Amino acid sequence: MAPSSSPLRTTSEADEKYANVKWEELGFALTPIDYMYVAKCKQGESFSQGKIVPYGDISISPCSPILNYGQGLFEGLKAYRTEDDRIIIFRPDQNALRMQTGAERLCMTPPSLEHFVEAVKQTVLANKKWVPPPGKGTLYIRPLLLGSGVTLGVAPAPEYTFLIYASPVGDYHKVSSGLNLKVDHKSHRAHSGGTGGVKSCTNYSPVVKSLLEAKSAGFSDVLFLDAATGRNIEELTACNIFILKGNIVSTPPTSGTILPGVTRKSISELARDIGYQVEERDVSVDELLEAEEVFCTGTAVVVKAVETVTFHDNKVKYRTGEAALSTKLHSMLTNIQMGVVEDKKGWMVEIDRCQG
């Protein structure tokens, strides 16, 4: 089940503190863990409490809406191990609320906020030896909401599955400096009235072609433009974008075509805390090319500086390194997430060490 590049060594003893993993070799790839969480419910009812089961393949009807019509949502969040051996999770309530918003858009039945957070806690507890040592990575948690019941026509599923699995991960992008982005002026990630503003499974496979073409040309990722005008930036394949000029930090608005990222929201707040003016507004390609600094945010990428942007034949280089705002914001955020500084925001949820 594990890819050939997986850092998994051998099965550990159940009472070991850590799984037998080469933590220094972690990338952003699946390392299969021990357990996952599964709950089901009928359309219009509430989810059962669910249960922790061994991680593995699931059985699903070929006539399910997730397979035929893409009726599915996913989330992504992380658990961290602190130096004093606590395990903490970053803002799971925000992912729960975003899943509820997505479920309303796709006519699905979501778990309650309390159920979502408790299920995440149970999943992490069951797999606590897979939470990397401090500074060696994180446990990436992937909740799924799937239209798993049987229906042949285009309609909401009669049954839903709420599933959570996880994997220890390292950096999403291995480059040490900054990202080199290509602006895609032909393909679009989302359009007004569509599902770009929710974390629908259907949003991601359409961007793969653009991403592969960009990577084959030596770029790190793709930046998409709005479908309405083709003049404003929106987001990358899997993260939000910010620009800095003077004391003003600008990011495109979450007006239906851009995913409201949890990291995006957190970074906006931290930037305001240290005196920057943060604006959520349309940002044109011209403004992007004239910015002093550009950076991306997301659960997987955290905060990552952009070194260059290429639009047609125009390549622009930006400030990166220790003097960059992105470096300071990355440090501020990760210090909270890893328990290095006091969490005055109330963002972190601690797993009870007496459980599990």
Interior/surface letters 87-105, b for 16+ CB within 10 angstroms, e for the rest: bbbbbbbbbbbbbbebbee
Q: Which residue pairs, CB below 8 angstroms and at least 24 apart, start in 47-52? A: 47/109, 47/111, 47/112, 47/115, 47/160, 47/162, 49/115, 50/115, 50/119, 50/162, 52/122, 52/123, 52/126
Q: Are 204 and 190 in contact (CB under 8 A)?
A: no
Instruction: Give the N- to C-terminal CA distance of the chain in Å, as an integer.
Output: 26
How many whole angstroms separate alpha carbon 351 and alpha carbon 131?
Answer: 12
Pairing of β 277-280 and β 248-251: parallel
**199 given a catalytic annotation:** yes
* Token pair for 319: 């400030």
Task: Choose, from 78, 121, 182, 199, the residue flagged as catalytic.
Answer: 199
How many whole angstroms separate alpha carbon 276 and alpha carbon 269?
Answer: 10
Q: Which residues contact 16 (CB under 8 A, 6 or more apart)?
A: 129
Find residue 250's DSSP bridge partners: 243, 279
How many whole angstroms separate alpha carbon 56 and alpha carbon 308?
Answer: 41
Among left, alpha and beta (phi > 0; psi -120 to 50; other), residue 107 is left
Amino acid sitting at position 289 = L
Which residues are catalytically annotated?
Answer: 199
